[in-house]
Amino acid sequence: MNSRFRFLWIRESFDPVGWRKMRLQTMERTAFKEVNLKFIIRRCHIKRLYVLHRFQRNGLGRLLMNEVLAVARQNGIAELILKVQKVNQSAVSFYSCSGFRVDGEETFRVGTRHYTALVMRLSLCTPARDTFRQNAWQTEL
């Protein structure tokens, strides 16, 4: 498995007003061991996407998300994944409007408090368009 982090900051003068952190991930999986058919899964985990409250609803979040989508497409990413606190309905709405769908929930603990995060996913291509590699036979078209 290979993963890389990428960061982007938006600043006003010298002060950061928004930023995103994403991790590009490539995994190789074997589908049929008999013929040694392997496929590559490319995912992007959006780890952070923040805009300071006083700068929200001015298009900066959309700018950051568009940049995430552009980087994902340039790197052949098939799926974007993120986690957002369930109580943060403005963020949930933003991600839903961006095409993400809720795929499940996870609870996590900070100190003695428990929180619920929604796992959201956005598919950029169908599984049939994922990259396949077959090591047993090499065919050229």
Distance (Å, whole) CA 6 – CA 32: 33
- The number of C-alpha atoms within 13 Å of 141 and in the hemisphere containing its C-beta is 0
Output the pLDDT for position 139: 36
Output the pLDDT for position 76: 84
b/e per residue 47-67 (b: at least 16 CB within 10 A)? eebbbeeeebeeebbeebbeb
Within-domain flag for 113: no
Within-domain flag for 97: no
pLDDT band at 15 (very low <50, low <70, confident <90, very high): confident
The more confidently predicted of residues 67 and 3 is 67
User: Tens digits of per-residue pLDDT, 40-96?
Assistant: 667 788 898 888 988 888 898 999 999 999 988 888 888 999 999 999 999 999 999
Within-domain flag for 47: yes
Domain that holds residue 51: 2-82+123-134
Which domain CATH number covers 16?
Answer: 3.40.630.30
Cα-flanking dihedrals φ and ψ of residue 88, to 5°?
-85, 75
The amino acid occupying position 67 is: E
Q: How many CB atoms lie within 10 A of CB 127?
A: 11
- Compute the mean pLDDT over every residue in the chain, rounded to the nearest whole number: 79
Within-domain flag for 108: no
Split into its structural domains, the chain has a count of: 1
pTM of the model: 0.71
User: Tens digits of per-residue pLDDT, 89-134?
Assistant: 999 999 999 999 999 999 989 899 999 999 999 998 744 433 443 3
